[in-house]
Chain A
């Protein structure tokens, strides 16, 4: 033994730790490698090993940093870690304290997008069977977007132009940044809790994938899925697809398109309403023609020419039949009965009372003849109008020649 200093383990570990801590290169270093042995502890800290062909490096990522990760790290993934190298004195081992991880090659946002898409797809959040129909004439439309910017103005303008009957209810939210997903999801839930509208348009204008990121957030996706009010997603420009688009009941390409899909166009509505008018007139025209024909057919029948004579005849016939029925033996009773029933029902069908019961009336002149036109009448003549159950005596006030009853009364 010479006089050289004997270190305790702790002292040596502290010594090495100081060396490493003082090295500026090691205080912030990027390390590329493959993830392995990835574990998330209940504490929320992430522990893993970075490997390459020949070596490995122990890494830890504390909860705060780990919660900011946009993708879910998986073993085998090639990543670049940013961190500082330091000694963990208890084990006498050095490790990398990671502050950020990014996926090597593909962007980590891209990876996160695909991961979340696969996860929510697996859970059935994109199922067509869950999608709700968009109401045809929404009276109230909730718009969840930023109160500043072009998107909200585009939506309001298009809604106003197409269908000004719909009331627009804006729920202003931030649409980018860390607070955005919680605000958008919150607004969706709030709109549902208070049933503020029959339809929701949620979206924002175009931007980078970072700008649109809130609409790729799981919280927003779940809030859309949970919404009992149908949701139209209207994010970015045509080619931008977000997770919100997959979950929404209807995907619009842009905010303006979202407004177009939300309401009918009043120009088309006006045309549709005008077509009703044509159909009404045609249907009524046909009805009037049919009724006119019926009146013509009826008035040609004898029963209306001289109803009382006709009835007397039938009554005589009935009496005759009745007496013959009584006189005839058992054998022919049923034959006569059939004839009786047939005649009785014919009589019933021909009865002017039936006709009168449908709202027709018979007009008779003073001498009792049935009137078919005003031709034989003049002002001051007495006319009797017979209804089904009663009658009125009238005096002719005015002869309206050439005026048809079909005209609007």
Chain B
């Protein structure tokens, strides 16, 4: 199963890896099946990540000690 922590980028990279392993065809049937399951779970996860993503926009302000502080930024648009 896909780990919850995988980012979109990591998920795509893992999908690439899985499809290569499966297409090479030398994994055991049992491994092939679990790769297939992992892959379909990752596909679902990628779709869900895109479906549920809400763009975050912040404005950066230099804090008193120089470190960045994030402020909300109103884009003035309904996205």
A binds B: yes
Given contact pairs A139-B7, A147-B73, A288 touches B29 in the complex (Cβ within 8 A): yes
B23 in the interface, Cβ–Cβ < 8 Å? yes
B19 in the interface, Cβ–Cβ < 8 Å? yes
> How far is it, in angstroms, between the C-alpha of A131 and the C-alpha of B25 when the chains are bound?
39
A32 in the interface, Cβ–Cβ < 8 Å? no
Whether B49 contacts A165 by the Cβ 8 Å rule is yes
B2 in the interface, Cβ–Cβ < 8 Å? no
Whether A137 contacts B12 by the Cβ 8 Å rule is yes
Q: Which residue of A lies closest to B71 (CB)?
A: A170
Q: Which of B18, B25, B59 has the most CB of A within 10 A?
A: B59
Interface residues of B in 63-78 (CB under 8 A from A): 67-68, 70, 73, 75-77
Given contact pairs A156-B57, A157-B77, A280 touches B22 in the complex (Cβ within 8 A): yes
Given contact pairs A137-B12, A157-B79, A280 touches B62 in the complex (Cβ within 8 A): no
A306 in the interface, Cβ–Cβ < 8 Å? no
Report the minimal beta-carbon distance from A290 to chain B, rounded to whole angstroms: 7
How many inter-chain contacts with C-beta < 8 Å in the A-B complex? 111
A287 in the interface, Cβ–Cβ < 8 Å? yes
Whether B46 contacts A269 by the Cβ 8 Å rule is yes
Question: How many of chain A's residues touch chain B, expressed as a range?
Answer: 35 or more
Point out the residues of chain A lying under 8 angstroms from B75, CB to CB.
Answer: 153, 156-157
Q: Which of A136, A168, A274 has the most CB of B within 10 A?
A: A168
Point out the residues of chain B lying under 8 angstroms from A159, CB to CB.
Answer: 55
Whether A284 contacts B55 by the Cβ 8 Å rule is no
Interface residues of A in 124-171 (CB under 8 A from B): 136-137, 139, 142, 147, 153, 156-157, 159-160, 164-171
Whether B77 contacts A280 by the Cβ 8 Å rule is no
Whether A280 contacts B8 by the Cβ 8 Å rule is no
Given contact pairs A137-B9, A168-B56, A358 touches B28 in the complex (Cβ within 8 A): yes
Report the minimal beta-carbon distance from B75 to chain A, rounded to whole angstroms: 5
Report the minimal beta-carbon distance from A205 to chain B, rounded to whole angstroms: 16
> How far is it, in angstroms, between the C-alpha of A156 and the C-alpha of B76 when the chains are bound?
11
A330 in the interface, Cβ–Cβ < 8 Å? no
Given contact pairs A273-B43, A359-B30, A287 touches B58 in the complex (Cβ within 8 A): no
Report the minimal beta-carbon distance from A382 to chain B, rounded to whole angstroms: 27
Whether B56 contacts A194 by the Cβ 8 Å rule is no
A67 in the interface, Cβ–Cβ < 8 Å? no
Report B33-52 CB contacts with A as 1/0, cut-off 8 Å: 10010011001001101100
Whether B25 contacts A196 by the Cβ 8 Å rule is no
Whether A136 contacts B68 by the Cβ 8 Å rule is no
Point out the residues of chain B lying under 8 angstroms from A196, CB to CB.
Answer: 60, 68
Whether A170 contacts B39 by the Cβ 8 Å rule is no
Point out the residues of chain A lying under 8 angstroms from B22, CB to CB.
Answer: 279-280, 283-284, 287
Point out the residues of chain B lying under 8 angstroms from A279, CB to CB.
Answer: 19, 22-23
Report A266-302 CB contacts with B as 1/0, cut-off 8 Å: 1001101110110111011011101100000000000
A88 in the interface, Cβ–Cβ < 8 Å? no
A190 in the interface, Cβ–Cβ < 8 Å? yes
> How far is it, in angstroms, between the C-alpha of A165 and the C-alpha of B75 when the chains are bound?
17
Q: Which residue of A lies closest to B12 (CB)?
A: A137
Contact check: which of B30, B36, B40, B60 meets A169 at CB < 8 Å? B60
Q: Which of A136, A153, A171, A287 has the most CB of B within 10 A?
A: A287
Whether B62 contacts A286 by the Cβ 8 Å rule is no
Whether B47 contacts A165 by the Cβ 8 Å rule is no
Report A167-209 CB contacts with B as 1/0, cut-off 8 Å: 1111110000000000000000010001010000000000000
Q: Which residue of B lies closest to A186 (CB)?
A: B62
Whether A283 contacts B25 by the Cβ 8 Å rule is yes
Q: Which residue of B lies closest to A159 (CB)?
A: B55
* A residues at B contact (CB < 8 Å): 136-137, 139, 142, 147, 153, 156-157, 159-160, 164-172, 190, 194, 196, 266, 269-270, 272-274, 276-277, 279-281, 283-284, 286-288, 290-291, 358-359
- 9 residue pairs of the A-B complex, CB under 8 angstroms, read A142-B60, A168-B57, A170-B58, A171-B59, A194-B67, A196-B68, A273-B15, A280-B22, A281-B36
Known: A136-B9, A196-B60, A281-B36. 8 other contacts (CB 8 A): A147-B59, A153-B77, A167-B58, A169-B59, A170-B57, A276-B18, A277-B39, A280-B22
